[in-house]
A and B are shown apart, each in its own frame.
Chain A
C-alpha cells in the first residue's frame, strides 16, 4: 500500500526560506515528485528525485532519503507568487503517481 503525509498548511514571510516535508510508505518505490498547484489550475512539475540527496533548481531544491522514506521541498527567497499548494507524489513500481494531500503555502508580505 501507499501512505503519503505532508503538512496541510504552512505560512511564511516573503524573502524567507520554507521547508515542506513529506513522508511516504510505499511498495515498489520508483521516485518522488514535487508539483506546484495554484488554485483552480493543474499541477506543474517542480522536481523528481530517485536517488538520495539534494537536487537544486534555482530557488527550489528537493531532498530525498529513501531509507527514511522522507523528502522535503525547500523554497528560498520566497515570493508572493509562491503561494500555492505543493503536492508530494511517489512513483510506484507501476509508474503511477500517488499524491499526498498537498501543503497549502501562504506567503505573507
Chain B
C-alpha cells in the first residue's frame, strides 16, 4: 500500500515553455500532498503544501504564479512550472499522506520528476 506515482519521470523543455507534473496516490486518498524540489547534492526543500479543494500554501520564496498547483481530487495533485527557465532545472518530488490511516504522519514519496530546461 501507500504508493505514489509521478508523471513524467523525465522532461526536457525549451526555455519559456510550461511543464505540468502529475502526482497521484494510487491506493489511498490524500487530502494533503506536498511538492519538494531538490538540487544536486542538496536536500529536499518544501515548495508548497497542496490541499484538496483549496488553494495551495507556498513556502517563503516560492513564486505561486510561477509554480501553479492544483489538487482537484483526493488522488491527484498537479504542479505546473510556467515559463520555465534553466534555473528551474531540478528534481521535483511529491509526497502524500494517507488521510484515513491511523497515525497518518508518514509521507510517502513519488519517484520524482527530473526537469531539464534548455
Cross-chain contact B44 with A87 (CB below 8 angstroms):
yes
Cross-chain contact B108 with A45 (CB below 8 angstroms):
yes
> A31 and B46 in contact (CB under 8 A), knowing A42-B93, A42-B111, A96-B34?
no
Against A, the Cβ 8 Å flags (1 = close, 0 = not) of B61-91 are 0000000000000000000000000000001
Cβ of A70 within 8 Å of any chain B Cβ, yes or no, is no
Cβ of A60 within 8 Å of any chain B Cβ, yes or no, is no
Against A, the Cβ 8 Å flags (1 = close, 0 = not) of B13-28 are 0000000000000000
Q: How far is the CB of A94 from chain B (nearest CB, A)?
A: 8
Considering only CB atoms and an 8 Å cut-off, how many residues of chain A contact the other chain? Answer: 22
Residues in B with CB closer than 8 Å to A42 are 93, 109-112
Considering only CB atoms and an 8 Å cut-off, how many residues of chain B contact the other chain? Answer: 21
Describe B's contact surface by its main secondary structure: strand
Residues in B with CB closer than 8 Å to A41 are 111-112
> A98 and B46 in contact (CB under 8 A), knowing A30-B105, A48-B105, A48-B106?
yes
Expressed in whole angstroms, the Cα–Cα distance for A31 and B105 within the complex equals: 8
Expressed in whole angstroms, the Cα–Cα distance for A48 and B107 within the complex equals: 10
Against B, the Cβ 8 Å flags (1 = close, 0 = not) of A13-47 are 00000000000000000110101000011111100
Residues of chain A from 41 to 69 with CB closer than 8 A to chain B in the complex: 41-45, 48, 50
Cross-chain contact B109 with A44 (CB below 8 angstroms):
yes
Taking A33-B106, A48-B105, A97-B107 as given, write out 7 further A-B residue pairs in contact, using a Cβ cutoff of 8 Å, ordered by the A residue number. Answer: A40-B112, A42-B112, A43-B44, A50-B105, A96-B46, A97-B34, A102-B43
